[in-house]
Amino acid sequence: MNLLEDSPSHSWQNWLLRHASFWIIFNAIICIGVGYNHNFPLMLSIQNTLVWMPYQIAVAYLLLYGIIPWFFKKRYKTALMLLIIWLLLGLLGNFLFRYFVFIPFRTRAMPVPEHSTYRVAFTVNSYMLTNAIAFVAAIPKILRYQYQKERANQQLTRETRTIELQLLKSQVHPHFLFNTLNNLYSLTQKQSNKAPEIVLKLSGLLHYMIYECNAPEVFLTKEIAALQDYIALERLRYGPRLTINTQFLGDLAGQKIAPLLLIPFVENAFKHGAAEQVSQAYIDLHLIVKEKFLFFELVNSKNDYINEPHNHNVGGIGLKNVKKRLDLIYRQQYELKVDCQKEKFTVWLQIALT
């Protein structure tokens, strides 16, 4: 377990272990240092250290739990005022503690001349040392707070990203279904014998979208199968006036991709290509996986009067969503290019597969 975080069931034990370890280690260092610098016997150094420990703990915890939280809350004026009060009270407490506790103890342990009592009481070495200990003790608390704040921000970012992705994916379903049901309605009106086949293909697509697209990633082979079913639906609708060429090459097995990521591109090609053309139309689709990269190219014919990419590249909700999803899921791991020429429209996508 990370030392900067607590298990909910052991938070009190972890807190006690961390703080006890700090005071034992820190005061052991002080004990050794004071004994070495002043040539005190080891036992006397230990006794001096233990006598000062309650005062040091009180000063340190007033800083940790009485002042620093105000800085965390960005109540800087209150925190600064409390810090000044803490420094003054600490200085007063130092003098009182030395006079009423430390000097009587030290006089019994190692007698000193009577005239030195007041001089010893009003020295500030112990005050400075105690403040130094308190500020050192505050460093782990500040680091811990920053760590937990960063984790909370990351968790919030992940949750926001998940919600946004779910929203975008939920918009793909009705958008796709709306167009497909329109196609089915059109064929039903004509009493076409292709209608049952469309229902069958649509059933397969619905099963894929409802039961298999809830995961963050799906197998690329399943995404391709859904893509082929969708193309088959559209092929039934347009008949011989639309030429469709598809090519799926490379190491496809075992690769994964975000679900329903490629269908909007194909849907856009039909909606703004074949659907708007009276004459012969074509769609060429090439998907290749090579060295952990997916290369996807889609070219469709279009009417030459559609010259501006912004009139063609969004297709309603479809491509807007897929661009947002690419940004959220793949971030810097993809490249998307859209080219709108006089008589054709090209989409080129490259994704780094994990």
Q: Which pLDDT belongs to residue 285?
A: 95
CATH superfamily of 170-352: Histidine kinase-like ATPase, C-terminal domain (3.30.565.10)
Whether residue 2 is predicted with pLDDT greater than 60 in this model: the reply is: no
- Residue labelled with tokens 């400075």: 128
Q: What is the pLDDT of residue 150?
A: 83
Contacts of 11 (CB under 8 A, 6+ apart): none
Supply φ then ψ for residue 112, to 5 degrees. Answer: -130, 160
Q: What is the pLDDT of residue 126?
A: 81
Side chain identity, residue 288: I
Least confident of 27-36, 120-129, 255-264, 291-300: 27-36
pLDDT band at 115 (very low <50, low <70, confident <90, very high): very low
Calculate the dihedral angle through the C-alpha atoms of 132, 134, 140, 142, rounding to the nearest 10 degrees.
-100
pLDDT band with cut points at 50, 70 and 90 for residue 287 = very high
Per-residue b or e along 35-59, where b marks 16 or more CB atoms closer than 10 Å to that residue's CB: beeeebeeebbbbbbeebeebbbeb
pTM, whole model, 2 decimals?
0.53
Q: Which of 84, 97, 81, 85 has the alpha carbon at shortest distance from 129?
A: 97
pLDDT in tens, 243-283: 899 999 998 988 999 888 888 888 888 877 766 665 778 89
Per-chain mean pLDDT for the chain: 78
pLDDT surpasses 60 at 225: yes
CB of 66 closer than 8 Å to CB of 86? yes
Lowest mean pLDDT among 49-58, 75-84, 99-108, 247-256: 99-108
Tokens read off for 111: 């007698």
Q: In the chain, where does the domain assigned CATH 3.30.565.10 lie? A: 170-352
Percent of the chain beyond pLDDT 90? 16
Q: What angle do CA 73, 78, 83 make, to 5 degrees?
A: 105
